Amino acid sequence: MSKNILIINASARIKNATSRKLTYVFEKRRKQVNPTDYFVHRDVAQYPIPHISEQWIESAFTSKKDRTKAQQESLKLSDILITELKRTDLVVLATPMYNWSIPSALKAYIDQILRMNETLKINPSTPKNPYKGLLKNKKAILILVRGGKGYSKGDFYEHMDFQTQYLKTVFNIIGIEDLKVITVNGLDISTKESKSAYNEAYKIVQNLAESFV
């Protein structure tokens, strides 16, 4: 059965980006396993997504039927990005860790797709967990690449990992709760550690490409 797969790359590096190499590995293996899959690519680093503006905010919180043409235009790209998500079965997001978080280019993308009544709603009757995601029956693979290491649970830099939990929270809030997280650590420590981390991630990515249904 054919699947719609959205691949999002966020690394500012083009030639030597480990995260990009791993999305390529996934796509290549997936096409071998299921050649009828349809792929959409969204490169937020090479083709930056604009930051939201005051007009964008006003437009997003104006009811659809009451939006002016100018307001509709300000949400045009956001609508395109959200339509991509609604049509996809699997999101493969690959991003490096920049300054303990995600690249600003990826944050701009996230701000465009977090839209009330499009990807999420608020349920006031459950104030401790008010968000209801509207994107159902979808899965995601997060490929998270770091130059250093020590960010796993219980490690000495755990408190400085603003990449993993943030992205998991974003996907959960819009309704994508079936998440696989691949972390690639220590790429800048030594050639040996870099090679070992990449090889391990390579195997996991290959297996996920083969097993996704």
Average pLDDT over residues 77-92: 98
pLDDT at 195: 92
Predicted confidence (pLDDT) at residue 207 exceeds the cutoff of 90:
yes
pLDDT at 106: 98
pLDDT tens for each residue of 103-126: 999 999 999 999 999 999 998 888
pLDDT at 103: 98
pLDDT at 129: 87
Mean pLDDT of the chain: 96
Residues 6+ apart with CB under 8 A from 197: 184, 185, 186, 187
Predicted confidence (pLDDT) at residue 75 exceeds the cutoff of 90:
yes
pLDDT at 125: 86
pLDDT tens for each residue of 150-179: 898 889 999 999 999 999 999 999 999 999
Number of domains in the chain: 1
Residue 111 burial (C-beta neighbours within 10 Å; 0-12, 13-18, 19+): middle
Nearest to 143 by CA among 194, 95, 193, 212: 95
Q: What is the CATH number of the domain that holds 178?
A: 3.40.50.360
What token pair was written down for 133? 């995601």
CB 19 within 8 A of CB 11: yes
pLDDT at 126: 87
Predicted confidence (pLDDT) at residue 71 exceeds the cutoff of 90:
yes
Strands 131-133 and 178-184: unpaired
In the three-class reduction of DSSP (H, G, I as helix; E, B as strand; rest coil), residue 212 is classed as coil
Q: What is the C-alpha separation between 170 and 110, in angstroms, rounded?
A: 8
What token pair was written down for 180? 């696989």
pLDDT at 156: 92
Q: Which helix (H) or strand (E) holds 176?
A: none
DSSP 8-state secondary structure symbol assigned to residue 113: H
Average pLDDT over residues 21-32: 98
Residue 16 structural domain: 4-211
DSSP 8-state secondary structure symbol assigned to residue 129: S
In the three-class reduction of DSSP (H, G, I as helix; E, B as strand; rest coil), residue 6 is classed as strand
Counting every residue written for the chain, the total comes to 213
Residue 32: pLDDT band (50, 70, 90) is: very high
CB 39 within 8 A of CB 5: yes
More reliable by pLDDT, 5 or 186 = 5
The amino acid that residue 123 corresponds to is N
pLDDT at 127: 85
What token pair was written down for 10? 């966020």
pLDDT at 13: 95
Nearest to 11 by CA among 51, 42, 50, 43: 43
The amino acid that residue 44 corresponds to is V
